[in-house]
Structure 1
């Protein structure tokens, strides 16, 4: 007794499901693939449109980053359609694979690097782990409910037999069949007529052919599913509620978060549609949402407020009345030189730039209290610097080479996109 379920197609427990998944892994087909055939393999194995699988991988790549490592893992551990073993198993000598050992090593290195990048470099904390868990859960549920369908036929293992070369020598080959002695040959040199040999046994009947893979043709679609309509309605309600919350003062509901919520609803609809056999129309909504979300998150427009005109600003105030309390610009470079200000009362100013570089020059011995930040780019203030997206602000006081006792200046410098630099003249 192995503990397997008596009902066909039903697996008992998590461990049995995982073991059966490994034993009947999807095989990467020769036809229908776009790159390595990982998405097509999963789609054909579980009766899901491969396009849905590809969209799911793209979404998990954009939100979380684990789509690329998963694809590389599938390339490495899913055997080809006519392979004995997977690329990784071929690397360790378990059998024949179309993935060469050298390329398997390359895939292994890329998998490790991309996995580390998805965990440490995602847009939000834990995003890579969340997308990994979602992919693993989807595969587990697919195999538990559809693992008995379209099970791949085993590939015959090629064995080595001695082959006669014609010149009296034998060589080992994996393509030659084992030699069969002729019926009339007598190893004891007796009369062949004296042997009572049984009749040849009939050849066994060939095994039944594997069922054809499910193909998805537009002309053979089943009844229209309600998954797409329900998901679209729920996405509209989610977007409307989030916008209303944002208008009522909920600061969390900005453009990035609203798009993320809507895309999450669409993603759930795609997964549900994969099981229920519908919802393909949601792909046309998921792709542009994913692109817009990626742009908004990569280029943080969250702090990009309505500012002044476009172009470069170069100001060198020489009196306290010429020094403006706010220098604000929508796009362009700002160059503010404060070295011509006379000593006396403390000065304070704010510099706010939408897109462009901002440089502020202060007197050599001034005592400067500063707050420098940029949404995307490099900030460098008195030898301290940050580089990247949404980095913390640089704050502090720098008294110059002469120590405390110089002109007092307070600076607040912020950019949405571009470099910020505060330096001494």
Structure 2
């Protein structure tokens, strides 16, 4: 059947309604719980900071809830969309993300925040195209590989994989120019994960790792990375070298998490949090609020919730009815897994500081919209796997 054939549902009305019950509610509850915890952590990190809130103590709490509400609508739309329409819209999503990544590099259009030109400032909000580029790379690569996946010719298969990597290479290069090292690392994990399950020989995976190493070395040699980004790696290796400079964030984050102990100091009562010792605590370092105020139990609960989401994502990938769905689910799992590990790891000092938000927990509209769209796609694949 042609992808352009008008879509008509042959399923009875009762079957369509039953889709609500067939949804992966464990995944839904996990995402809802993370977002609810994130709302409390963001509120605690911002309600006393008048320079951020303008005197409205619930400013960021309301914004986070609004972002979630908008993202929820997007997730529902993605979940109920016919998968044939998704295939049609994949090139549009990819082209739109590339255009957005180009626009942020244009002086006067892209806004520089924390040393990276990654945002487009609109009158009512700022948009970060690189967040949507993660989803665009996943869908674009999955479409290319799945469309020609039936061929048994090794040469043709090699061409398909090469084209898919080329699809990812364009956003990666544009993000490098911002520069946004954290997003590049996430995109790299996505590419590696999708290629790993596409059925290619293992030498391809070794080649990808080698190419990433070479590109990283060249980026340092030709000063593509900024000095402050290189300094973050130095601080990651030894935060004590410059505790008041590049190592300040990591040093304060460790103190905050250490203060929490097992049960925490109590929500809204963390000494490091309420005295604003940890920078960017409502965005990149939101996990330190959990560590200090909710303690090991609260911080551990966040990690468990992420583990549940990744488990459900992997189940959806395994049970997907086609290669397109399986590759999309795999890419989303790689995205969430690496970004959560990197964000939590940098607050604990086991990963370098890269400025990545914690999915569903950190404050940020673009991150929330893209993340919930991804969850909607997971639900879409799950629902189709239960159709007869």
Mark yes or no: TM-score above 0.5: no
TM-score scaled by structure 2?
0.29
Q: Which has the higher helix share?
A: 2
Q: Which has the higher strand share?
A: 1
Computing the radius of gyration over CA atoms, which structure comes out larger, 1 or 2? 1
TM-score scaled by structure 1?
0.27
